[in-house]
A and B are shown apart, each in its own frame.
Chain A
Amino acid sequence: MDIVNINELIGNIELFVNKICGKIKKSDIKELRILKTKCFGKNGIITNFSKSLPQYNVSDRKKFGLQLNKAKKILEDAIVKRIEKSKSVYRDSEPHHEKLSYSKDFCFPFPKGSLHPIIQTIQDIIAIFKSLGFAVVDGPELETDWYNFEALNIPEDHPSRDVQDTFYLNENGIKKLLRTHTSPGQIHIMEKQLPPIKIIVPGRVYRNETSDASHSSIFYQIEGLEISENITFMDLKAVLVEFINRFFMSELNLRFRPSYFQFTEPSAEVDIQCNFCKGKGCKICKNLGWMEVLGCGMVHPNVLKSVNYDFQKYIGYAFGIGVERITMLKHNINDIRLFYENDLRFLKQF
């Protein structure tokens, strides 16, 4: 073998290395793997060159071997460098290769559960009032005339009993009724203890009326009561404003307006500015711009008397929130019957 051959070979190697290096710079991982095989595989070019080494003389062999090692190192470095660089690209592009989608439907469909919107409202209300220092109390749904009416200053022949048409039943020969409001809860607590009292009573109530889009013979109420020696009408307003702003998560325009309940004096109803039309008047608020959310007032002295409290000493306020109503306002629900149909297409929205 003459020297020209060797120099020619070395030139070929240099050419090959340059060519491959150029390819490496543009290759992705898969292609790199192929290139690597092409160079260093069983029949790789570099491998074959190495295999041919013994046929050259010592000086040529030395020269050629040196060159070969150099080429090997250049190629290996180039590949490692390219792999490092393309790893980040690889990471990002891998899902693309696997044809992945980011749609949520692309994952295993664990079933969706739901809590009833009424219950969620009650939980929210309870949480707010607990943070204002109220305790939560439960009361029976099966009541006597005393708790539901008499003790609350509603005598038997009062016209307002017309408004609350009542379901009656017998229990072992005793006349019972299904409570028409959660206010009997006040009496139960006051009979058991002396003030200070600061409670809410959530629960189901009943009215004997035919169901339609805005009436149901069953609905939920939350009663509130605070009694001590120095509770005022101002405190009542403060608590309710705080509650409404927190519940609707915004500072709404509120309206306190006089009303009439037997068990409170002075009595008030609270309206909020319609959420949907911002007071301009729309279908939902019946063009009034306002929507009634609760009734309240200062506990009537006759109620305090009926539980043998000293009505000169103790004073307090009470309020009642219609759960369905404010749930409907909050979620834009237009028919109260939806709450009791229990159609999953409705329930799973909440």
Chain B
Amino acid sequence: MKISYNWIRKFTNFRITPNELCSLLISIGFETSIVSNKRSWTNIVSAKIIDISKHPNANKLFLCKVTDGNKEYSVICGAKNIAIGQIVPFAKIGATLKDIKVKKNKIRGLDSNGIICSAEELELEVSSKGILILNTDTNLGEPLENIFDKNDTIFEIEVMTNRGDCLSHLGIAREISAKLQKKIFLPALKVFSVPRVIQSSITIEVKSDLCLRYIGSFITDVKIKTSPNWLMCALQKNGLKSINNVVDITNYVMLELGQPLHVFDASKLCSNKIIIRNAIDNEKIFALDDKEYILDTEMLVTSDLQKPIAISGIIGGKYSSVDNKTTTVFIESGIFDANSIRKTSKKLHLSTDSSYRFERKLDWNMSKFAMLRAISLIIDIAGGNLKILKDIKNIKYKKTQIILEIDKIFKVLGYTIEIDEIKKILIFLGIDIQLKGNIFFCTVPSWRNDIKFDVDLIEEIVRIKGYDTVPYVKNNKYSTYIVNNAFIPTIIEKLRIKLSELGFSEVLNYTFVEIRDLEKFDLKYYYKILNPVSKENEVLRPSLLLGLYKNLLLNIGHGSETVTLFEYGKIFNKFGERKAFAMIMYGRVWQEWCFWTEKKIDSVYDFYFGCGVVRKILQLSNKFIITKNSSIKKYFRSEQTAAITYNGKNVGQFGILNPFIIDKMKYDIFYFEILTNEIEENYTEEIVFYKTYSKFPIVKRDISIVADKTLKFEKIESIFKNIVDTNNILKTYSLFSIYILNKSKLCYSFRLSYGSNSKTLTDKEVTEDMNMLLKKLDKELKVKLRK
């Protein structure tokens, strides 16, 4: 909301600069910034018309002479309302009007050295006929922005949703005066008499509970004209355009006092009866914004006997609008149900300055005062006679009363504020107080609909006193409490560290995915958003695969040779909301690297390297077991996948992505995903018990054995394992090479470590033990030493 510095100073007397005022407003809860007035004209000045003659070559054009006090200019002008002696806005060569530069121009053979402007050209009015005529006491040569702004400062203020009372200059002035402890001055009202009701005049009937109060007035003999400069200027500064004097006045009163008003041309109504009622289903209204709205029974309308003339509190109808021929007007000032206005505005996708204020609840008393203010201004500016003023109260209004204990203030804030100070703050906020013992009996003013409880008053006290004055003690009581379900995702933190050390990057993807993409990977969705941002964000991800796969493509596209990513987050599958952890790997394990010894180090993330990473991270718990994948997801290549169990329960799968599904790539893509709910809940660190190790040297032997391709590696391994478990000198074995000998045979190379806890082993002892192993392999599996 835009607020003018000069305008608020009419309500309260303060002597602080706009910058100080800006900080003051922020300190009491209004996010405020100073906006430079965007409508700053250049090279447009006030000038006097000193001569008018007919254009020799055109019937409808005039040749005018104007002066800015220093120099005379000859201008061609086509407006009918020009006259000698008028002071007008004059755009010199080089000025900009509606984004068009004013240039020296020849019109029908004569030079025109500028433009005499209309209000429309100056963007002051929506549409205007003829030139804008300035007040006769305007100095010549005065830049237009000075005439219209008078060194004003405009603030942009964000008003909290519960402070509907602050959506006006008066409202903001009230806040400032509360902080500065100054008095508020309301605008003076004209004294006028309301004549007795005439028989044939308009009657008003309120037929709906959604209208809480309705004030209507009827003014005859008004003259619709262009608004005076000051009024036009006030609206312009607040971002509104001038329409005509009467409509401008209602808008002015809204900006001034916060009460939206609406004015109708009474002669255009079909009846003398105004009814405020709920709309009928499918009732239509063609509104001032040139759109037709279809209404329903939950919406409130102002209507004559035939049809609605306004959607109450939101927008008026086009056909009853005030125009240049209007002489009799009907003005409404209401208090409508805030929720109903909000719902209607939402349903119709129509938010107006008026609905914005009604939604935030208005001041019960202000509706009357604003009406009187508007009538005063109309009689002043547009003339006319007030014929009727009716005030219908549909409910009995009661001011809110709150009991505030002084002890409670201390309990909430933690420190004491002097009672006298509290009193002063409350009084300047307009709150009536009576102090009895330790209790304040407070009556909240009609504009503060947001104050309902004692804590609201406590907030007011500390807000006005200043949040920055709240003392705080460093290192106060930092006690620890135990929360029943508190847990720390330690295993996830460990995974993060392990993987980032291995060169993986953590990513975070949107929870939303596109159905089309899911189908590609044969994934089903279980949750569809009813109001998605877009089709690409329609369903909740049932797996982390899509996001990671997209990230992979993006980074390969940007030239990455290696992409290793992981993500931890929520997925939404048939069991509901679940936590998941996933990794994707692609490309070289590290960039190609040749040492000067010309040893080449190179490897890619194929199935075996990927498995190595999996093995590395699964070391976190011995409850993890890699097993045969018995329900292979379609996106895995069926011969290169495995499953993972935790505590015997299946938690996920990994493997190479199916090349028939994914885009064409240079290397395989390795993917791993597990659900972590169970793991996180049951994860405990396993305690390690120390085992003594041998103090004697270790003997290493490498052997290569030849086995049938069909023979499972697990069987070979079990023999090694068996010996390690039972034998006292074979300590460890490790596979370091697998080599394809021919179509039917594979060659495995193992490194064996022998040692004894009691002595240094002899060559003979080691050889004997190794022979025993080889014999066993040969006997049980027909696996022989490679010769």
Tell me whether B558 and A234 are in contact (CB under 8 A). Answer: no
Bitwise interface map of A from 113 to 156 toward B, beta carbon under 8 Å scored 1, else 0? 11110110001000000011101111011100000000000000
Tell me whether B481 and A135 are in contact (CB under 8 A). Answer: yes
> Is there a chain B Cβ closer than 8 Å to A82's Cβ?
no
Stretch in contact with the other chain, from B5-13, B508-516, B658-666, B779-787: B508-516
Which of A111, A115, A259 is close to B503, meaning CB atoms less than 8 Å apart? A111
> Is there a chain A Cβ closer than 8 Å to B348's Cβ?
no
Q: Considering only CB atoms and an 8 Å cut-off, how many residues of chain B contact the other chain?
A: 95
> Is there a chain B Cβ closer than 8 Å to A47's Cβ?
no
> Is there a chain A Cβ closer than 8 Å to B229's Cβ?
no
Tell me whether A109 and B496 are in contact (CB under 8 A). Answer: no
> Is there a chain A Cβ closer than 8 Å to B502's Cβ?
yes
> Is there a chain A Cβ closer than 8 Å to B221's Cβ?
no
Which residues of the other chain, A, contact B489 by a CB distance below 8 angstroms? 138
Tell me whether A111 and B414 are in contact (CB under 8 A). Answer: no
> Is there a chain B Cβ closer than 8 Å to A199's Cβ?
yes
Which of A113, A142, A343 is close to B499, meaning CB atoms less than 8 Å apart? A113
Nearest B-chain residue to A302, judged by Cβ: B453
Bitwise interface map of A from 29 to 73 toward B, beta carbon under 8 Å scored 1, else 0? 000000000000000000000000000000000000000000000
Q: Which of A199, A233, A241, A255 has the most CB of B within 10 A?
A: A233
Min CB distance, B460 to chain A, in Å? 8
Given contacts A135-B482, A137-B485, A344-B505, contact A301 B27 (CB under 8 A): no
Tell me whether A136 and B488 are in contact (CB under 8 A). Answer: yes
Stretch in contact with the other chain, from B239-247, B439-447, B530-538: B530-538
Which residues of the other chain, A, contact B527 by a CB distance below 8 angstroms? 142, 169, 171
Nearest B-chain residue to A345, judged by Cβ: B558
Bound together, the chains give a CA A116 to CA B572 distance in angstroms of: 22
Nearest A-chain residue to B456, judged by Cβ: A265
Which residues of the other chain, B, contact A170 by a CB distance below 8 angstroms? 528, 530
CB neighbors of B among A255-313 (8 A)? 255-260, 265-268, 287-288, 298, 300-301
Tell me whether A342 and B508 are in contact (CB under 8 A). Answer: yes
Tell me whether A210 and B27 are in contact (CB under 8 A). Answer: no
> Is there a chain A Cβ closer than 8 Å to B201's Cβ?
no
CB neighbors of B among A182-234 (8 A)? 189, 192-193, 196-199, 204, 206, 208-211, 217-218, 230, 232-234
Which of A138, A163, A178, A234 is close to B415, meaning CB atoms less than 8 Å apart? A234
Which residues of the other chain, B, contact A102 by a CB distance below 8 angstroms? none
Given contacts A169-B540, A171-B527, contact A157 B160 (CB under 8 A): no
Which residues of the other chain, A, contact B29 by a CB distance below 8 angstroms? 257-260
Bound together, the chains give a CA A218 to CA B510 distance in angstroms of: 7
Given contacts A119-B506, A342-B554, contact A260 B161 (CB under 8 A): yes
Tell me whether A238 and B502 are in contact (CB under 8 A). Answer: no
Bound together, the chains give a CA A174 to CA B433 distance in angstroms of: 49
Tell me whether A217 and B537 are in contact (CB under 8 A). Answer: yes
Bound together, the chains give a CA A211 to CA B533 distance in angstroms of: 9
Which residues of the other chain, A, contact B509 by a CB distance below 8 angstroms? 340, 342
Nearest A-chain residue to B489, judged by Cβ: A138
Tell me whether B412 and A196 are in contact (CB under 8 A). Answer: no
Bitwise interface map of B from 157 to 187 toward A, beta carbon under 8 Å scored 1, else 0? 0001111000000000000000000000000
Which of B467, B502, B503, B507 is close to A342, meaning CB atoms less than 8 Å apart? B507
Given contacts A108-B601, A192-B485, A233-B470, contact A258 B414 (CB under 8 A): no
Given contacts A169-B540, A198-B479, A208-B531, contact A234 B470 (CB under 8 A): yes
Tell me whether B483 and A234 are in contact (CB under 8 A). Answer: no
Nearest B-chain residue to A266, judged by Cβ: B459
Which residues of the other chain, B, contact A133 by a CB distance below 8 angstroms? 478-481
> Is there a chain B Cβ closer than 8 Å to A315's Cβ?
yes
> Is there a chain B Cβ closer than 8 Å to A173's Cβ?
no
Tell me whether B477 and A157 are in contact (CB under 8 A). Answer: no
Tell me whether A137 and B483 are in contact (CB under 8 A). Answer: yes
> Is there a chain B Cβ closer than 8 Å to A242's Cβ?
yes
Stretch in contact with the other chain, from B272-280, B562-570, B740-748: B562-570
> Is there a chain A Cβ closer than 8 Å to B691's Cβ?
no
Bound together, the chains give a CA A247 to CA B418 distance in angstroms of: 35
Given contacts A257-B27, A342-B554, contact A115 B496 (CB under 8 A): yes
Nearest A-chain residue to B496, judged by Cβ: A115
> Is there a chain A Cβ closer than 8 Å to B360's Cβ?
yes
> Is there a chain B Cβ closer than 8 Å to A112's Cβ?
yes
Which residues of the other chain, A, contact B27 by a CB distance below 8 angstroms? 257-258
Given contacts A233-B413, A260-B160, contact A169 B530 (CB under 8 A): yes
Bitwise interface map of A from 94 to 118 toward B, beta carbon under 8 Å scored 1, else 0? 0000000000000011111111101
Min CB distance, B167 to chain A, in Å? 12
Nearest B-chain residue to A298, judged by Cβ: B412
> Is there a chain B Cβ closer than 8 Å to A248's Cβ?
no
Given contacts A111-B564, A301-B455, contact A204 B570 (CB under 8 A): yes
Which residues of the other chain, B, contact A210 by a CB distance below 8 angstroms? 533
Tell me whether A193 and B537 are in contact (CB under 8 A). Answer: no
Tell me whether B455 and A266 are in contact (CB under 8 A). Answer: yes
Tell me whether B500 and A114 are in contact (CB under 8 A). Answer: yes
CB neighbors of A among B328-345 (8 A)? 339, 342-343
Bitwise interface map of A from 317 to 350 toward B, beta carbon under 8 Å scored 1, else 0? 0000000000000000000000111111101100
Bound together, the chains give a CA A218 to CA B359 distance in angstroms of: 28
Q: Which of B161, B453, B563 has the most CB of A within 10 A?
A: B161
Tell me whether B481 and A116 are in contact (CB under 8 A). Answer: no
Bitwise interface map of B from 137 to 171 toward A, beta carbon under 8 Å scored 1, else 0? 00000000000000000000000111100000000
Bound together, the chains give a CA A199 to CA B496 distance in angstroms of: 24
Min CB distance, A176 to chain B, in Å? 8
Which of A160, A209, A287 is close to B161, meaning CB atoms less than 8 Å apart? A160
Min CB distance, B678 to chain A, in Å? 14
Min CB distance, B189 to chain A, in Å? 32
Which residues of the other chain, A, contact B478 by a CB distance below 8 angstroms? 131-133
Which of A238, A260, A301 is close to B473, meaning CB atoms less than 8 Å apart? A238
Which of A138, A140, A141, A237 is close to B511, meaning CB atoms less than 8 Å apart? A141
Bound together, the chains give a CA A301 to CA B454 distance in angstroms of: 10
> Is there a chain B Cβ closer than 8 Å to A84's Cβ?
no
> Is there a chain A Cβ closer than 8 Å to B739's Cβ?
no
Which residues of the other chain, B, contact A116 by a CB distance below 8 angstroms? 505-508
Bound together, the chains give a CA A241 to CA B496 distance in angstroms of: 30
Bound together, the chains give a CA A266 to CA B481 distance in angstroms of: 25
> Is there a chain A Cβ closer than 8 Å to B476's Cβ?
yes
Which residues of the other chain, B, contact A110 by a CB distance below 8 angstroms? 503, 590
Which residues of the other chain, A, contact B595 by a CB distance below 8 angstroms? 108
Which residues of the other chain, B, contact A157 by a CB distance below 8 angstroms? 339, 342-343
Tell me whether B531 and A196 are in contact (CB under 8 A). Answer: no
Which residues of the other chain, B, contact A167 by a CB distance below 8 angstroms? 529-532
Tell me whether A256 and B160 are in contact (CB under 8 A). Answer: no
Which residues of the other chain, B, contact A136 by a CB distance below 8 angstroms? 486-488
Min CB distance, A190 to chain B, in Å? 11
Nearest B-chain residue to A165, judged by Cβ: B531
Which residues of the other chain, B, contact A345 by a CB distance below 8 angstroms? 558
Which residues of the other chain, A, contact B591 by a CB distance below 8 angstroms? 109
Nearest A-chain residue to B413, judged by Cβ: A233
Given contacts A233-B414, A301-B453, contact A141 B481 (CB under 8 A): no
Tell me whether B459 and A258 are in contact (CB under 8 A). Answer: yes
Which residues of the other chain, B, contact A189 by a CB distance below 8 angstroms? 483, 485
Which residues of the other chain, A, contact B434 by a CB distance below 8 angstroms? none
Which residues of the other chain, B, contact A315 by a CB distance below 8 angstroms? 411-412
Bound together, the chains give a CA A213 to CA B742 distance in angstroms of: 60
Given contacts A237-B472, A342-B554, contact A113 B504 (CB under 8 A): yes
Nearest B-chain residue to A262, judged by Cβ: B162
Tell me whether B562 and A111 are in contact (CB under 8 A). Answer: yes
Nearest B-chain residue to A176, judged by Cβ: B527
List the 10 closest pairs (A to B, CB-CB), nearest first. A232-B414, A111-B503, A258-B29, A266-B459, A234-B414, A113-B500, A256-B467, A260-B160, A135-B486, A133-B480
6 contacts between A and B (CB under 8 A): A114-B500, A136-B486, A168-B529, A198-B480, A266-B455, A344-B560
Contacts A208-B533, A238-B475, A255-B26 given; 6 further ones with Cβ under 8 A? A108-B601, A192-B485, A238-B472, A239-B476, A301-B453, A348-B505
